[in-house]
Amino acid sequence: MARVFGACRVLMAAKAASSPNAASSAKEGTGKLKNSNILKPLPVSQVLKEFVGASEISRNEVVKKIWVHIKANQLQNPANKKEILCDKKLKTIFEGRDKIGMLEVPKLVAPHFLKPN
């Protein structure tokens, strides 16, 4: 029995020793997010420009503005909160669809970002 618990102590000590390295690698991972295209302002299509009011905006900010619009106009389906009921303004962005899933928002917004030349 002593061998089993002794081995556990060794493994726990090894885990504790590697914790500072794990924390620093997590910090490094967040540094990579800053360089990603999610936070980089990109030119947008005319339709999205009219919705957000800016000619260049990051993907992250677009999704935030869409959610502000959804919450302000109470466009979430009360029976299924994962479903968004599109009004006239959202239909212009979301290919004229009447309703979409909340996880579809980034996928449907992606074509509105123009590639920089």
Task: Tell which wins on pLDDT, 30 or 51.
Answer: 51
33 or 15, greater pLDDT? 15
Q: What is the DSSP letter of 76?
A: B
Q: Pairing relation of β-strands 83-85 and 42-43?
A: unpaired
56 CB contacts (<8 Å, ≥6 apart)? 41, 42, 43, 44
Contacts of 73 (CB under 8 A, 6+ apart): 87
Average pLDDT value for the chain: 81
Mean pLDDT, residues 7-28 taken together = 58
φ/ψ (deg, to 5) at 26: -65, -40
| Cα dihedral sign, 58-60-65-70 | positive
Averaged over 101-105, what is the pLDDT?
92
Regarding predicted confidence, which is higher, 67 or 18? Answer: 67
- Percent of the chain beyond pLDDT 90? 62
The answer to whether the beta carbons of residues 65 and 85 sit under 8 Å apart is: no
* C-beta separation of 115 from 45 below 8 A: no
